Structure 1
């Protein structure tokens, strides 16, 4: 049976909202994303649509080398899935991306975790709920816990995950491109060779 790799990215941007969540969970790396490639060029989650506004959220394709992520700590895990599961996962993401305007961030669902009950609405997810739902829908994730209660810490406990990097996100060794600030303050993209 042919297999493919996907990558789960757990991160901590150090924002006020992140620090508040960390205090409540007594944990770090409370944002979860899923990547279809080791270079992290195709990373998806539910989060901020605008970096400076935590209250406008939804389905996002994340650019982990954008200035917003400059001081981010992270852990990147590899998950091996079947070719069929990968195709289902990729198709689901493509459908969501094509209709991303229909999706919103499930802020109410975060309170549901506190109350241990489902709170929210259709087409709304928080980050770990989104990743768990994707993996469950394609057959890669099985748990008795409903996805609306899944926290990033729950996903990190998957025995099939293999840690490939932990540390500062800007030092992630597998980026296919690097972004560097110019004298004008804009970010330039430059190709780098990976050993």
Structure 2
């Protein structure tokens, strides 16, 4: 199980998990099966969410085109869904666990073209049977497996059966914030206003006037 820093000796290190619900047709479909408040999980190395890593849609208008993604709060897919709700969770870890997490993320970044979205794995979650195609992940599977490979084992079940709600309910995580994503106080307010105004102008063109 997880090895957390002991006492108050030395600096504390943290990793963050962002759970979100954009309210799109695809996420509503997932919620019909899970009945959970959030249906997407991302991994972050800082509380400001400057870097978010997950598996999901590569383009805002193409929900079925997925793989490893470096999500951008200000200019990425989230910017097209301003009503996104979220829960930000903090996990205290050791220095080595955090360093190993960074190494694993860098490996995914270098080889991101070889990875794809584990869509059939979502069906496996519903059937309670882990399905693990080679080089394929869904969001919570990726976050769980990255933590597990960093020496942070939170569940007995395989990562292919871990859901965003499992993070939300796990006592090892501290709830830092819950509410609308763009109300999160540690976001860059100046950049947020500029990018959101630009996105509103282009949304109809980019998505054909449809939110999916």
Taking structure 1 as the reference length, the TM-score comes to 0.90
- Asked whether 1:63 is paired with 2:75, we answer no
The separation in 1 between residues aligned to 2:38 and 2:179, in whole angstroms, is: 11
Does the 8 A contact of 1:32 with 1:45 survive in 2? yes
Structure 1 residues 85-106: Cα deviation after superposition (integer angstroms, max 9, x where no partner): 0000000001101110010000
- Asked whether 1:31 is paired with 2:43, we answer no
Following superposition, the deviation at residue 117 of structure 1 comes to 1.4
Following superposition, the deviation at residue 115 of structure 1 comes to 1.6
Following superposition, the deviation at residue 154 of structure 1 comes to 1.0
Does the 8 A contact of 2:52 with 2:70 survive in 1? yes
The separation in 2 between residues aligned to 1:14 and 1:184, in whole angstroms, is: 17
The separation in 2 between residues aligned to 1:77 and 1:160, in whole angstroms, is: 9
- What 5-or-longer segments of structure 1 have no aligned partner? 188-195
1:53 to 58, 62, 65: 62
Taking structure 2 as the reference length, the TM-score comes to 0.83
Following superposition, the deviation at residue 18 of structure 1 comes to 0.5
RCO higher in structure (CA 8 A, sep ≥6): 2
- Asked whether 1:21 is paired with 2:37, we answer no
Following superposition, the deviation at residue 185 of structure 1 comes to 2.4
Following superposition, the deviation at residue 180 of structure 1 comes to 3.5
Which secondary structure state, in structure 1, belongs to the residue aligned with residue 196 of structure 2? Answer: strand
More helix by percentage: 2
- Asked whether 1:84 is paired with 2:93, we answer no
Query: How many residues are treated as equivalent by the alignment?
Result: 187
The separation in 1 between residues aligned to 2:152 and 2:87, in whole angstroms, is: 20
- Asked whether 1:98 is paired with 2:107, we answer no
**1:1-195 maps to which residues of 2 (within 5 A)?**
2-66=11-75, 67-176=79-188, 177-178=191-192, 179-182=195-198, 185=201
Structure 1 residues 10-40: Cα deviation after superposition (integer angstroms, max 9, x where no partner): 0000100101111111112110001111110
More strand by percentage: 1
- What 5-or-longer segments of structure 2 have no aligned partner? 1-9, 204-212
Does the 8 A contact of 1:2 with 1:82 survive in 2? no
Runs of 4+ in 1 over 4 A off after TM superposition: none
CA RMSD of aligned residues (A): 1.8
Deviates more, 1:135-144 or 1:39-48: 135-144
Following superposition, the deviation at residue 142 of structure 1 comes to 2.9
